[in-house]
Structures are given as structure tokens and as C-alpha cells.
């Protein structure tokens, strides 16, 4: 099989761009809402969580691509992808957390502490499943994983910025906390619809 690398790279970049803007995993598919609502109180922690998501999503998707194509497809066990992806993600995150914790306290403080939070996150698993459904090649998969995670980070950063300002405004008691956050997420999703059509 001949692979046209440059065409692949181009496809990966387009997929990456679309994953950030036109089909943002958070604001279009509403995956990864749990940390999005609970850890978006401060910009600083959102950045930490965002980087953790970027790292974990990109690398687990690369691993999952190999596991899917060289193990599951080989044995004809595609239907097991849910379980396989989950255990790979969980084991990988555990492993990385252990390494960071041991060798880089500074990185652990900024990034490692967030890793367990996103281990069983649906955005991470969802991206891996999309990769299968859409039949991405390896390079496109990595581009898609990176783009989705950057898009997720962008969304949580925007939300954290809004919520920091929100602390100064009067929110009706019944809507405080998750309530108003979900409403804002809906409005942000509407705004992101504006990006549809940028890519044909």
C-alpha cells in the first residue's frame, strides 16, 4: 500500500483544524462535560487540566490506533474496542502519572495532579471511538486527537474566563454553580455553530 505522506499531513491538519473549531468535541458533541463544569472555576487550573487533556488524548489515540488495527482487527474482535480503549487509557494515565510524580515534582504540580481526573473521561474515549468510526489513518488520528484536545482546552479556558467574571455578577440562587455553567456552555455552543461551513 502506497501512502502519500504529504497528502496525509494535509488531511491531518485539516482534521485538526476542524476538531478545534467546526466540530469541537465539547461544544458540538458535548463530551467531557464533567471536568468542564467542575474544574472551570479558575483560568489557572483550567490551563493545567487542558494540557493534561492534550497530552493524554494525543498519546492514547496513537496507542489506541495501533491496538485497534494490529490487535483487534487482526483477531476480528472490533466489537471489543470499548473495553480495550478504556483499559489502555487507564493504564497509560496511571503509568504517566507515576513517572511524572517520581521524576518531575514541578510538572506533577502543574499537570500530574489533573491526570487521574481525566482517566475515565468520555471525551478521551469518545475521540478514540470516532477515530474508528471515521476510519482515520494513523497520521490523521494523531492530528485529530491533538485538535480535539486543543479544542477542548480552548472551550474550558473560555468558560473559566467567563466564570471568573461571573463571580462578580448576580446569578439567581437556583442557577448558581453548574446551572449557569450549563447555560453558558449552551450559548458557547451556539457561537461555535458560526464556524460550520468554514471547511467544506
Residues lying near other proteins in the complex (CB under 8 A):
44-45, 48, 67, 71-72, 75-77, 80, 83-84, 87-88, 91, 94-95, 98-99, 101-102, 105-106, 109-110, 113
Greatest Cα-to-Cα distance within the chain, rounded to the nearest angstrom: 61
Shorter beta-carbon distance to other proteins: residue 39 or 150: 39
Q: Provide the minimum distance between the beta carbon of 49 and other proteins in the complex, in angstroms, as a whole number.
A: 9
Shorter beta-carbon distance to other proteins: residue 81 or 139: 81
Rounded to an integer, what distance in angstroms lies between the CA atom of residue 114 and that of residue 51? 9
Rounded to an integer, what distance in angstroms lies between the CA atom of residue 84 and that of residue 64? 8
Shorter beta-carbon distance to other proteins: residue 28 or 153: 153
Q: Provide the minimum distance between the beta carbon of 83 and other proteins in the complex, in angstroms, as a whole number.
A: 6
Q: Provide the minimum distance between the beta carbon of 66 and other proteins in the complex, in angstroms, as a whole number.
A: 12
Q: Provide the minimum distance between the beta carbon of 12 and other proteins in the complex, in angstroms, as a whole number.
A: 27
Shorter beta-carbon distance to other proteins: residue 65 or 192: 65
Selection from 120, 66, 126 nearest residue 89 by Cα = 120
Q: Provide the minimum distance between the beta carbon of 111 and other proteins in the complex, in angstroms, as a whole number.
A: 10
Shorter beta-carbon distance to other proteins: residue 104 or 196: 104
Rounded to an integer, what distance in angstroms lies between the CA atom of residue 168 and that of residue 93? 37
Angle, CA of 47, 10 and 64, to the nearest 5°: 60
Element spanning 89, H or E = helix 81-103
Shorter beta-carbon distance to other proteins: residue 94 or 196: 94
Q: Provide the minimum distance between the beta carbon of 56 and other proteins in the complex, in angstroms, as a whole number.
A: 16
Selection from 149, 125, 146 nearest residue 9 by Cα = 146
Selection from 108, 126, 101 nearest residue 23 by Cα = 126
- Please list, in sequence order, all residues whose beta carbon lies within 8 angstroms of the beta carbon of residue 115, skipping any fewer than 6 positions away: 52, 56, 93, 96, 97, 100
Q: Which three cell numbers stand for residue 37?
A: 463544569
Amino acid at each position: 500500500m502506497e501512502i502519500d505522506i504529504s497528502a496525509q499531513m494535509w488531511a491531518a491538519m485539516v482534521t485538526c483544524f476542524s476538531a478545534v473549531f467546526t466540530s469541537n468535541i465539547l461544544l458540538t458533541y458535548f463530551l467531557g462535560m464533567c471536568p468542564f463544569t467542575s474544574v472551570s472555576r479558575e483560568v489557572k487550573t483550567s490551563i493545567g487540566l487542558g494540557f493534561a487533556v492534550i497530552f493524554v488524548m494525543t498519546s492514547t489515540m496513537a496507542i489506541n490506533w495501533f491496538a485497534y488495527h494490529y490487535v483487534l482487527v487482526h483477531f476480528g474482535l472490533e466489537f471489543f474496542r470499548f473495553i480495550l480503549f478504556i483499559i489502555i487509557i487507564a493504564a497509560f494515565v496511571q503509568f504517566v502519572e507515576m513517572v511524572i510524580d517520581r521524576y518531575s515534582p514541578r510538572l506533577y504540580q502543574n499537570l500530574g495532579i489533573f491526570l487521574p481526573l481525566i482517566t475515565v473521561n468520555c471525551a478521551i474515549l469518545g475521540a478514540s471511538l470516532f477515530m474508528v468510526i471515521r476510519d482515520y489513518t494513523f497520521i490523521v488520528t494523531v492530528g485529530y486527537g491533538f485538535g480535539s484536545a486543543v479544542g477542548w482546552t480552548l472551550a474550558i479556558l473560555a468558560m473559566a474566563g467567563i466564570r471568573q467574571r461571573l463571580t462578580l455578577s448576580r446569578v439567581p440562587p437556583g442557577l448558581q454553580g453548574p446551572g449557569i455553567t450549563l447555560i453558558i456552555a449552551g450559548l458557547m455552543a451556539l457561537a461555535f455553530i458560526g464556524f460550520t461551513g468554514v471547511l467544506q
